[in-house]
Homo-oligomer: A and B are copies of this chain.
């Protein structure tokens, strides 16, 4: 099982570099240096850079989602908890926005595989939010889930480009908007 240990080290190093500096800014040789694995082995773990990028995004999806769901699980007000969790995330030292949106912006136009992985992640998040909306008794869980998704990605993007001190403000504004959307009267069916 040595190959897996190698793959794990490669993926850990690559994930950090890709997220912090962007995919195109990081070369395979830098991944090799950071992981302490030979180039030969790196390529036998991940046969191309694209494969490594996809693996990075897939693992990020798992970890990001389970961090969020773990934080929210059991909370009396799960939707408020989502935005609390966001506020903590925005405050982390190496926060640099949504890894999926960033990867899509960089590579979505050129890589089908990346596009797919990003879409799957957003779909999974949307499904989770829909569950939360249902659980909270929203009149239209699909609409609320879409609104929460928009608020989460929007807060993440705004926090990314803002100075660090502003991040908490952004998360709280988004949380208040989410609460407002939840308690909004149902849309008039005619329009």
Which of A7-15, A34-42, A70-78, A180-188 is found at the contact surface with chain B? A180-188
Q: Give the size range of A's interface with the partner.
A: 35 or more
| Cα–Cα, bound, A179→B183 (Å) | 12
With a cutoff of 8 Å between Cβ atoms, the chain B residues found around residue A97 in the complex are 101, 104-105
With a cutoff of 8 Å between Cβ atoms, the chain B residues found around residue A20 in the complex are 109
Instruction: Name A154's contact: one of B21, B24, B149 (CB within 8 Å).
Output: B149
With a cutoff of 8 Å between Cβ atoms, the chain B residues found around residue A119 in the complex are 161-162
| Cα–Cα, bound, A181→B176 (Å) | 8
Asked if A98 lies at the interface with its beta carbon under 8 angstroms from chain B, I say yes
With a cutoff of 8 Å between Cβ atoms, the chain B residues found around residue A143 in the complex are 173, 176
Instruction: Name A109's contact: one of B96, B104, B118 (CB within 8 Å).
Output: B96
Main secondary structure of the interface of A (DSSP, over half): helix
Whether A177 pairs with B176 at a CB distance below 8 angstroms is no
Given A21-B110, A96-B109, A155-B150, A176:B170 Cβ within 8 A: no
Show 24 residue pairs from A and B whose CB-CB distance is below 8 angstroms, ordered by the A residue: A20-B109, A25-B106, A96-B105, A96-B109, A97-B105, A101-B101, A104-B161, A105-B105, A115-B161, A119-B162, A143-B173, A146-B158, A147-B173, A147-B177, A149-B154, A150-B151, A150-B174, A150-B177, A153-B153, A153-B154, A157-B157, A177-B177, A180-B181, A180-B183
Q: List 9 tightest A-B contacts by C-beta distance, closest first.
A: A154-B154, A102-B105, A180-B184, A150-B154, A146-B173, A180-B180, A153-B157, A147-B177, A177-B181
* Apart from A100-B161, A101-B160, 17 more pairs, CB < 8 Å: A21-B109, A22-B106, A24-B106, A96-B109, A97-B105, A98-B157, A104-B160, A105-B105, A146-B158, A146-B169, A150-B155, A153-B158, A154-B154, A154-B155, A157-B157, A176-B187, A177-B178
